[in-house]
Amino acid sequence: MSNIKNCNEKDFQKEVIGSKLPVVVDFWAEWCGPCKMLTPILEELSEELHDKVNVVKVNLDDNQDLAMKYSIRSIPTLLLFDKGNLIDTKVGLLPKSDIVLWLESKI
């Protein structure tokens, strides 16, 4: 079962900024093909790394203010937060192995 939470502007503070664990935020949209391809990869990672990192999804179309705040210009975009701070960004569809290496190098 996936540990991914859907997040919006209202609960972003609690789920991302206030998280005790690092958080991967996936900015996506329903119409985005690469975003749909990334979802199963993130679901696997959320299960495998559930004790090391949280994964949340933010729908770009429903959360324009968050997208503007974090300068999201292309999707899918992954933001990595640790202790409430944005520490890195990845843009585009990446293979699972690349995401794992990215996370291991940052957390």
Angle 88-90-92 (CA atoms, 0-180°, nearest 5)?
170
Q: Summarize pLDDT for 46-76 with one digit per residue, the tens.
A: 999 999 999 999 999 999 999 999 999 999 9
Q: Summarize pLDDT for 3-46 with one digit per residue, the tens.
A: 899 999 999 999 999 999 999 999 999 999 999 999 999 999 99
Would you say 67 and 61 are in contact if contact means Cβ atoms under 8 Å apart? no
What is the number of residues in the chain?
107
Catalytic residue IDs: 32, 35
* DSSP three-state, residue 90: strand
For residues 19 and 53, give the distance between their C-alpha atoms in angstroms, rounded to a whole number: 10
Write down the pLDDT at residue 20.
Answer: 96
Query: What's the pTM value of the predicted model, to 2 decimals?
Result: 0.95
List of domains in the chain? 5-106 (3.40.30.10)
